[in-house]
Amino acid sequence: MKKADFDNLYLNIRRDLGGLIEDLALGAPYEKFIEEIKRLKILRENVDYWEKTIKPILLVLRGIKLKRPSLRIICYKNPVFDDLFVREAEEIAILIFRVNSTGKVDVKEWRNLLYRIINEATESGEDEANYILRTYSENANRGRTICLTDFSGKHLLKSIRSVGVDAIIRYIISPYHFAPLETLMREMVVLLRKGFAISDERLIKLVKLHAEYIREYVLTSSEYDEAYERWIKDERFKNY
């Protein structure tokens, strides 16, 4: 990103952090930036955990506007959905604990929660796409744009192309092997589009595999990336 030539940078960060991100880009001390986030209590999730997932990007951002003063930086995630997904992640953690404690999967509870998450993720994706397109069109110069995203990348690409904007997608990690729960949700989405529902057997299998992933890898690693790398090395994704 340091060497790339671009005029606009869209970040998959909460919109209400936009002011602090701008200060960081203008050279504010990184430690001060983190202190302010903690002081303002903007995030529902643990700040230290959030920082770990995004720190490499934040370090690149610090002072970037001193060299590129005309660069526009836009945070496009809706805080309402962001808080909602954190709460739902907490619900998943509770259900995973139950699976690891009892060895049983409450199919109805899992199905209801995951369908709710899928519906809200769809709404969130539409909200993000509309926000990106609106703020992009408001810029008279427009110019070259980079948009950092996650699993919603393909949806954003489709929405952006639909209004005639020339856009391509590039993957930072390729190939990426989806964790069991990610695989489950992707399969549920595909089947939903075809008018079908995932079978109880398939849901139970993937939930149990994810519970194993959390128990044997995530909880025994110092950070998530380490857990994922160990899981890939053991080729456990082939158990699907």
Element (H, E) at 44: none
Task: Kindly list the domain boundaries of the chain, sorted by start residue.
Answer: 81-120+178-239
Report the chain's C-alpha Rg in angstroms. Answer: 20
> How high is the pLDDT of residue 157?
86
Q: What would the mean pLDDT of 76-103 be, rounded to a whole number?
A: 96
Does residue 130 contact residue 201 with C-beta atoms inside 8 Å? no
Q: Which residue has the tokens 């002072």?
A: 63
Rounded CA-CA distance 22/16 in Å is: 11
> How high is the pLDDT of residue 219?
95
Predicted TM-score of the model (pTM)? 0.86
Helices assigned H by DSSP within 41-164 = 47-61, 64-67, 79-102, 107-137, 153-162
pLDDT in tens, 193-215: 999 999 999 999 999 999 999 99
Rounded CA-CA distance 189/155 in Å is: 13
* Alpha-carbon distance values, 59 to 159, 188, 222 (Å): 30, 37, 21
